[in-house]
Structure 1
């Protein structure tokens, strides 16, 4: 532990002491191993798309040079895709103008070997962002220029691991106009509750008690942007169990790729890596999302001058491995440079964000693991015209660089961008789930606690803790925690499929520094359980005199090693953390329902 006089902080105020974590610390660099990019194909592209602005139609082209070695008898065709329907095969030569009633295409060329056998030369697939009369801007023109808003999400990426594994992208976002938010602190465990709060302003504190009906009732922010005349797109690169799987069923969605990618994956070969469909056909799943983003920007911003709201989330490179992002870095920054060529940064506010840091794996063995898990990436870009038109908002965003903020504040910022006349926090209606939250375009209070930002104790990084010697009473406390977990599993009827946990080791106990001399203290405990190995971290209130737990929220307990293979019999996202399935409880039918988030 560093002496106090050398301590550095992300946030340093009376109410929040958020310790600085060095991305390039010796212990983190000891485990740092750059990953090599796994390519989906080494073939040159046989097909490419073009778009005619006069006819508003895409055309599919064949690179005939690639076909020369195959001689005569070559046939090329495509099948259009719309809403999970694959249309009849259409044969063509050289190029073909595509219909407007499809949102994707699967193409192939083959050569006949004999009357019954063909050799496929190449298959490929493309998204098609079609803009019809119905989806063009029809709302009344706004009196002032409206900024487009593009959210680029990288799953499980802390600000430290971003600097460490994506140096090219990190350098890009150090350019003028980009504002890092170093005090951004997640407010829930995994992906969905963190992202859901950003997009809806609604909390999902207890997922077990959460009912899907609330999805229908919650106002997703893209609905507000649609009403304001924005073209909207929400898409991601995980297709088996998408982030918004229940919202897809219950809420009208803007442009998205889900049905298209499902159809492509059923037709072309897929390659699974790091737990996800890494390659779909001959392209990265990631590339489908960002190629679609390029089309979205081109169609609406450049050709129609229509403001856009886009949410583009990527999981395949970053979720299950802390170092695979090194292989994404060059690809990602190349897309950013392409967006620059398309003038995206002249017109749009761009938000580069994550849901949380690593939640399991080698980074959880570092001394900074508590911070690594809780401090996601957040950079916000303001275009030149916005900075000159609203200098007070740019100044506030710069001022908030080292102030505590949460998912609710980011949600308020998205609301604020539709109400730019709200020049003070009081002019923006409060969010019911967190009335004290505010837009990041307004100065946040210097003195702000986690309670003010609606971040519960377990996820809060503002408090300083010191190590406690692990003695018998601490082991007894850990046993009480495990008993509480087992009781929660029994009460909620998960114990039929999941085995009872038994404490094996207590690895670390810390006490909140400001409460050390008090009778009721806040403790953080790292412990392990049997069967197999379950590694957990929890925060609780403890009565020192009575040796009794005063407060423990079982659903908030963190599992800090992977449970993908331990709990295939259980789909509930809280129960899965604590579940080690009985051998006879493994259910193959449930595998398709589980996304390890």
Structure 2
């Protein structure tokens, strides 16, 4: 590595690694240029967790009878001597994401059925149902496999596998996935300490990572309104498919392209796609989804397919009748276990064929962030599988990523730490062994970049860079530029002076140079009187925002008192201005909001109204159907659903 004469500052980063309050001190050298955007390293166990100790139970699928299993493309009865009457449906995707069809239920002859090229299967035996997924070689996939015949493994391009989990901050991953993290360290994954989301929502981060586009650009081009399908958008797997990669995208729910009544896709987006499986699972296990919906009533949106997860107190309310839990179970496997096993089978199937595969987990983690620790063993098992697959490790770029941290749990409504975690999701990457051997400059660059501000746009550009590394590919752009104005491949040394403004991160969520430690030198205290003025200003602006919307006549006016302040905190201070975060409860409805305020200093004083700007509002608690009167037709509607309390409330 080249030596530099630049001045450096040695910073001691102290953080918890276990809940025993044990600390580890890590020394990192950061140049003055890198301090252009300093991202606070949040503690693994912040004060909130020491005080509240939140935990979660997860649903149990052991009651489901595994009366059939899939072996060598055959459905086999597991208890052939028992008098179980079984029949088999094939679940077939319809003309778009919202439609699927079931074939007639045909009896299992001789307790075995060759399923051949059938992909998604539902078996009914007495009162139990089991779901199975076959991975048939489809004609289009066979053509891609034929393309690579005669090309040696060393000459074939690198694979890409992305494992993603919804709503996981970097700190939350470290406190929940201790065994998995240890295995990733052994495998040589690189932890990006300053990876920053571009929004607190899955879809916007997906647009950045999978399309390389901002939401406004998507709405202005390929998916012009809320219900427009995403087929015409430049999704990254298209680039790989055009270059004869086998592609797969699996997700266990509607948190991305189908959320809130969005259309998803008309045509199947990748070679392998299981959305119709989870539609049929939700319908088949209808008892639980209806009861869960009535109890939780999370968004109450028409055409939104129901969340698959029940956990914690919801499970207690539903009672212990097994039929009410089955939406969480494909058989005796919980949905995350099922997806992990499917991912392993898929990667084994196409280990010797260039492939792109994205496996995304939303439930139960989106609804219950504390459930993640319960799945550490299963996620660790996946990394154990990777550890044993030398050919995959030699040829595959492996990414473990989340979209954003938790937004609306109890953590958010009680703790300032949540604001920081929300914008700093987990991101780790492992380079293929062959890439490390052939491109030592990439290894050096990615180590350096792991401490710099990075975003999903950079991940998208990196995926394009993966394709550009292989000159055998027909459709790779010959003019690929690793660095552009607002994004940069992780494979080249990034500029150290990147900012939120230059990387498409909205100021509302920007954590550049934010002050995490409330007791840090130079951090001012906020007096009760000043806090009350900030509260009044925030509530006034919140009401003005609602009043200016097209739904103003439907929404109540918010009010708050000094007792409703949850916390206030300076998060940035300069000679010219200060930024303050204030969280408060607003009534009616006990809504919890967070406002980020920018206050300009004038003659050494703060003048609240004239020089104060509301950078943005965030809703930080779940709101059920409080905003039922707002339809879900546009991006603006989505924002108003978080800010509005309907004057007429449902009983």
Instruction: Name the residue aligned to 2:480.
Output: 428
Instruction: Name the residue aligned to 2:132.
Output: 126
What is the alpha-carbon distance in structure 2 between the residues aligned to residue 219 and residue 247 of structure 1? Answer: 16
Q: Summarize the Cα distance change of 1:470–1:534 in structure 2 as closer, same or farther, 3 Å threshold.
A: farther
What is the alpha-carbon distance in structure 1 between the residues aligned to residue 536 and residue 415 of structure 2? Answer: 25
Instruction: Name the residue aligned to 1:263.
Output: 280
What is the alpha-carbon distance in structure 2 between the residues aligned to residue 37 and residue 513 of structure 1? Answer: 39
Instruction: Name the residue aligned to 2:608.
Output: 547
Q: Contact 2:541 / 2:614 at 8 angstroms: preserved in 1?
A: no
Q: Contact 2:202 / 2:256 at 8 angstroms: preserved in 1?
A: no
Q: Contact 1:108 / 1:124 at 8 angstroms: preserved in 2?
A: yes
Instruction: Name the residue aligned to 2:433.
Output: 384
Instruction: Name the residue aligned to 2:105.
Output: 89
What is the alpha-carbon distance in structure 2 between the residues aligned to residue 421 and residue 242 of structure 1? Answer: 31
Instruction: Name the residue aligned to 2:349.
Output: 299
Q: Contact 1:208 / 1:574 at 8 angstroms: preserved in 2?
A: no
Q: Summarize the Cα distance change of 1:162–1:271 in structure 2 as closer, same or farther, 3 Å threshold.
A: farther
Q: Summarize the Cα distance change of 1:249–1:50 in structure 2 as closer, same or farther, 3 Å threshold.
A: same
Instruction: Name the residue aligned to 2:124.
Output: 108
The 5 Å alignment of 1:183-222 reads: 183-204=194-215, 211-212=225-226, 215=230, 218-222=233-237
Structure 2 portions without partners, runs of 5+: 1-9, 15-25, 94-99, 299-306, 310-327, 472-477, 516-522
Query: Aligned-pair distance for 1:182?
Result: 0.7
Q: Contact 1:103 / 1:129 at 8 angstroms: preserved in 2?
A: yes
For the residue of structure 2 that corresponds to 1:295, the secondary structure is helix
Query: Aligned-pair distance for 1:28?
Result: 2.2
Instruction: Name the residue aligned to 1:350.
Output: 398
Instruction: Name the residue aligned to 1:579.
Output: 644
Query: Aligned-pair distance for 1:43?
Result: 4.9
What is the alpha-carbon distance in structure 2 between the residues aligned to residue 253 and residue 492 of structure 1? Answer: 36
What is the alpha-carbon distance in structure 2 between the residues aligned to residue 240 and residue 456 of structure 1? Answer: 21
Query: Aligned-pair distance for 1:360?
Result: 2.3
Q: Contact 1:351 / 1:378 at 8 angstroms: preserved in 2?
A: yes
Report the number of matched residues: 550
Query: Aligned-pair distance for 1:190?
Result: 1.5
Instruction: Name the residue aligned to 2:506.
Output: 456
Q: 2:375 aligns with which of 322, 325, 328?
A: 328
What is the alpha-carbon distance in structure 2 between the residues aligned to residue 216 and residue 268 of structure 1? Answer: 29
Instruction: Name the residue aligned to 1:235.
Output: 250
Query: Aligned-pair distance for 1:324?
Result: 0.9
Q: 1:489 aligns with which of 525, 533, 546?
A: 546
CA RMSD of aligned residues (A): 3.3
- Deviations along 1:163-210, whole A, 9 cap, x unmatched? 111111111211132111111011112221112211111112699997
Q: Summarize the Cα distance change of 1:267–1:368 in structure 2 as closer, same or farther, 3 Å threshold.
A: closer
Q: Summarize the Cα distance change of 1:557–1:5 in structure 2 as closer, same or farther, 3 Å threshold.
A: same
Query: Aligned-pair distance for 1:487?
Result: 2.8
What is the alpha-carbon distance in structure 2 between the residues aligned to residue 164 and residue 354 of structure 1? Answer: 15
- Does residue 156 (structure 1) correspond to residue 167 (structure 2)? The answer is yes
Q: Summarize the Cα distance change of 1:480–1:251 in structure 2 as closer, same or farther, 3 Å threshold.
A: farther
- Deviations along 1:439-498, whole A, 9 cap, x unmatched? 111112233322333323222222244344245455334333333332332333123333
Q: Summarize the Cα distance change of 1:214–1:241 in structure 2 as closer, same or farther, 3 Å threshold.
A: closer
What is the TM-score when the length of structure 2 is the normalising length? 0.76
Query: Aligned-pair distance for 1:361?
Result: 2.2
Q: Contact 2:626 / 2:649 at 8 angstroms: preserved in 1?
A: no
What is the alpha-carbon distance in structure 2 between the residues aligned to residue 131 and residue 20 of structure 1? Answer: 46
Q: Summarize the Cα distance change of 1:416–1:30 in structure 2 as closer, same or farther, 3 Å threshold.
A: same
Q: Contact 2:164 / 2:400 at 8 angstroms: preserved in 1?
A: yes
What is the alpha-carbon distance in structure 1 between the residues aligned to residue 48 and residue 538 of structure 2? Answer: 30
What is the alpha-carbon distance in structure 2 between the residues aligned to residue 573 and residue 315 of structure 1? Answer: 19
Q: Contact 1:11 / 1:404 at 8 angstroms: preserved in 2?
A: no
The 5 Å alignment of 1:477-516 reads: 477-504=534-561, 505-511=564-570, 513-515=572-574
For the residue of structure 2 that corresponds to 1:186, the secondary structure is coil
Q: Contact 1:265 / 1:280 at 8 angstroms: preserved in 2?
A: no
Query: Aligned-pair distance for 1:376?
Result: 0.2
Structure 1 portions without partners, runs of 5+: 52-57, 111-119, 587-597
Q: Summarize the Cα distance change of 1:222–1:467 in structure 2 as closer, same or farther, 3 Å threshold.
A: farther
What is the alpha-carbon distance in structure 1 between the residues aligned to residue 498 and residue 134 of structure 2? Answer: 46
Query: Aligned-pair distance for 1:357?
Result: 0.8
- Deviations along 1:548-567, whole A, 9 cap, x unmatched? 3657567x421122223433
The 5 Å alignment of 1:39-188 reads: 39-43=60-64, 45-51=66-72, 58-64=73-79, 68=81, 70=82, 73-83=83-93, 84-91=100-107, 92-100=109-117, 102-110=118-126, 120=127, 122-138=128-144, 144-188=155-199
Q: Summarize the Cα distance change of 1:45–1:406 in structure 2 as closer, same or farther, 3 Å threshold.
A: same
Instruction: Name the residue aligned to 1:591.
Output: none
